[in-house]
Amino acid sequence: MALIEWSDALLIGVEEVDRQHRHLVEILNRLHEAMQTGGKSRDVVRVMQDVVRYTKYHFETEERYMAAAGYPELAAHRLKHRAMVAKVGAFSEEVLSGKSTVTMRLMTFLKEWLSRHILETDKRFGEYMARKYAA
């Protein structure tokens, strides 16, 4: 069973961002699957690297949209992204060095962070964009 089921409730209405969120859900599901078949395998390490790389890329995209739209909450949003990148980076280092394995606890954390971040923080940006470009 997938860790996260994609739901259209996660859409924020900015097409590229939505597409990337969908992809993030996919890689988290891939990581979860790899974890279940062996917590220390090379596969897990590879997917974990994908998660880190894609997360950074995705945050940059979001921030680019926010900057272009003059979004007033960009600075606060960016701080949340930075904190998450640091956390995921630290986890990933531990997995890469073999100090720890990808656990269900980590997966649950990633899942909850992503859904909450999209539903609460990214949605506010979606609403801002809708207001800004509605007229």
Where do contacts with Fe ion occur on this chain (CB under 5 A)?
Answer: 62, 122
Taking the complex as a whole, the smallest distance from the CB of residue 26 to Fe ion amounts, in Å, to 17
Q: CA 122 from chain center: how many Å?
A: 11
Which is nearer to Fe ion, 46 or 116 (by Cβ)?
116
Burial class, 24, CB count within 10 angstroms (exposed 0-12 / middle 13-18 / buried 19+): buried
Taking the complex as a whole, the smallest distance from the CB of residue 77 to Fe ion amounts, in Å, to 6
Backbone angle region of 67, left / alpha / beta, with phi > 0 → left and psi within -120 to 50 → alpha: alpha
Which is nearer to Fe ion, 41 or 115 (by Cβ)?
115
Report the distance separating Cα 23 and Cα 116, nearest Å.
Answer: 16
Farthest-apart Cα atoms in the chain, separation: 54
Taking the complex as a whole, the smallest distance from the CB of residue 31 to Fe ion amounts, in Å, to 19
Taking the complex as a whole, the smallest distance from the CB of residue 130 to Fe ion amounts, in Å, to 16
Which is nearer to Fe ion, 45 or 85 (by Cβ)?
85
Which is nearer to Fe ion, 40 or 112 (by Cβ)?
112
Residue listed under structure tokens 């926010």: 66
